[in-house]
Structure 1
């Protein structure tokens, strides 16, 4: 592998650079999403459709704790990208050391609390009726591995901030492949059921952590931290917190969304509707991988060039990222509008679930072609260190629009109202984000520097 330097972020052509950054990110997200997708198929076919709903109950809790690591990672990586762009290597090292300490302290504490209050948390997130027992099995085991997942998510963003997307891609691929292999062994061969699915997931988190630890100890990383860098620096912690809170708030809203969705759908249609949502949610994770890859590839490019005051390149990166992401989102839209029923049948043989899910899927993805503006717009403000607008724009879709809509629309349209809330919130949040992004480009990035 050719040696890659963070300085490439400020010199290579934007189109080529975005592809170089986004393709490994997309592949990594694809493999991770395929892992979640195939994992759900395995569980549905080998354990049962209720097991799919059980995992859907657990994921928002475990992912929220893991998102602490992602939040610290993205917040700190924004600082690291800009510090490397401004050749402030000491700050980059201190930031990374602080990221490690914060991730360990917070995620271990949260995992312990999550285990102490397991029963009440599972019920709150929709783990009712036949869903409760398999959800508790999965939840308890997976939470043991969540701190490792948090460290992986934090480390992955730092690797990308260094301008080494291929290593970040491998970090996402390794646990995904290992999880699928362990799923097959534990569920299909050894017949461990939900215990097998949970242990396969937890062990794969540890394998991922081992790889990321190797990367930072190897010659490939520019960030060679020492013991003094682990000492928490209040100003760095505040900066990490203000920027990372954007990601944490987004994941918190995602978790709250799952809470509302699982409970509302359980009341409207029981386990079948919760399972239908679980399948659609997996497709949201999987189908959007190329768009999310563009967004991930865009972050270090925008952050580095903003830190170097090269605003022309920042503008160009915004336009190029939106163009590429919109094209890919449109392709996703076409596929899911044409083939929702065959996709549903991959997950389950339950005829009622197969009957309900395709219509829901079409509603959920109806506004997909326009969402690139919202994703790239919110990512821009986070990349350049503008925490408040990044937070507000990140929360527009699910926090300001989607949650109120799923509380209001079902009163008039029943279960259909739940699915209608998806495209309506997509359109509204895109309009808001587009307005603020356009204003920012006109005011802040109008000077042609660099």
Structure 2
């Protein structure tokens, strides 16, 4: 089975491979987004308190994103490294990476749970909660954080299923949990009358089922790579390269958390709960737009990583070109739909006319450069796939830390309507970051591949 999977990644047509791996990954990413988005949709429709409850849950986003970021630190750092090891024919090395990652996720879960439960009230107030929305935020956060271990296992280890070429199994990890969440949400929220707490409980219960699915597979007989007892002792030489490569996707999601904090606190200052509620919906729509791009990147990752490890540079180039075209097409199509029909997206989250009208205006501004996301995602994730941690890290920092956060703080000072200044910071940062990423990629990609030559080829090039 291992040899068959290796041949598929190293020999089959790139287009068919990307379709086979990306379609389940895209489906998984979209369904994964439903974990939180379905919660928000149901919460926004709770009679009488819907708008306040939705805003309160929106304030917890930084914590939810930070928990997911730590799973990406391990999963998206370990997955490509395991793929490269497989491409080199070193499956034992790949299993050692995966087993070390498993132990790391457990340790991270324990620390995160303790920290967030101890400091939840001051954190939520700092993140933009008001006296009216804080109770809803705390109700949701207490239950969600208590299930951090399930989130880490389900998200972090699922990357190791995808990276072996088992895309359908990886997709089912998310499908099982998301479908269960969709079913349980209305039962706990409305039938049992649990409100916001019911939404959080449904989400965590669903993640627990997903984590059991992942662990059964990776400890079972169907997988190529297994979590093995002999590799459970953490080794610096194994886990540090994982952390180095995973730092870029971690910062992408971690800085998303930081950006959300700055956005919510700024909007609370300039526009109150209405503006924060609008941002909750805008960020949810952004998540919907970004998830298919991440799915495409996840589908391309094992193909690019395996062939980079096998030093098949022509195939690495073909993977990138196809990924770039697909990502750009999708981001442009989504952007057009959003610009033409923002109210369709907004009405999914709230029936309240004041919030819906304000959010439709804000969404067009917030997503004005959404078509550029395809360039940013495909170039940056390709750097991750071929092990270029430093370059990918810089590009992750550029968009959120170097550009967006300062713009959020500075631009409101130059607008008569400071809320407009906050929302317009996002498209300016997206445009500048995507442009810079494209330029860096054009300069670096060929150079990296030129160095990634088989030993015999390099010797021939050095001969006079």
Both structures adopt the same fold (TM-score exceeding 0.5): yes
* 1:152–1:212 contact (8 Å) kept in structure 2: yes
The residue that corresponds to 1:335 in the other structure is 337
The residue that corresponds to 1:306 in the other structure is 308
- Alignment deviations for residues 124-176 of structure 1 (CA, whole Å, 9 cap, x no partner): 11122211011011111110111210111111111111111111111111111
Q: Where do 1:223-262 residues align within 5 Å?
A: 223-262=225-264
Aligned-pair CA distance for 1:442 = 2.6
* 1:364–1:423 contact (8 Å) kept in structure 2: yes
- Structure 2: runs of 5 or more not aligned: 455-464
* Worse-superposed segment, 28-37 or 370-379: 28-37
Query: Does the alignment pair 1:428 with 2:439?
Result: no
Query: Does the alignment pair 1:440 with 2:430?
Result: no
Distance 1:201 1:289 in 2: 18
Q: Secondary structure at the match of 1:260?
A: helix
Aligned length: 448
Aligned-pair CA distance for 1:213 = 1.2
Task: Select which of 222, 228, 238 maps to 2:224.
Answer: 222
Distance 1:289 1:252 in 2: 16
Task: Select which of 205, 209, 212 maps to 1:210.
Answer: 212
Query: Does the alignment pair 1:415 with 2:419?
Result: yes
Q: Where do 1:364-375 residues align within 5 Å?
A: 364-375=366-377
The residue that corresponds to 1:272 in the other structure is 274
- Structure 1: runs of 5 or more not aligned: none
* 1:312–1:445 contact (8 Å) kept in structure 2: no
Q: Where do 1:20-419 residues align within 5 Å?
A: 20-46=20-46, 47-413=49-415, 414-419=418-423
TM-score by length of 2: 0.93
* 2:69–2:251 contact (8 Å) kept in structure 1: no
* 2:100–2:235 contact (8 Å) kept in structure 1: yes
Distance 2:277 2:328 in 1: 29
- Alignment deviations for residues 423-445 of structure 1 (CA, whole Å, 9 cap, x no partner): 11111111111111111223222
Distance 1:4 1:424 in 2: 46
Q: Secondary structure at the match of 2:348?
A: helix
Flag the 1:230–1:430 CA change in 2: closer, same or farther, 3 A.
Answer: same
* 1:83–1:89 contact (8 Å) kept in structure 2: yes
Q: Secondary structure at the match of 1:417?
A: helix
Q: Secondary structure at the match of 2:331?
A: helix
Aligned-pair CA distance for 1:449 = 6.0
Q: Secondary structure at the match of 2:187?
A: helix
- Alignment deviations for residues 326-382 of structure 1 (CA, whole Å, 9 cap, x no partner): 111111011111111132122112222112111211122221222222111111121
Distance 2:6 2:401 in 1: 35
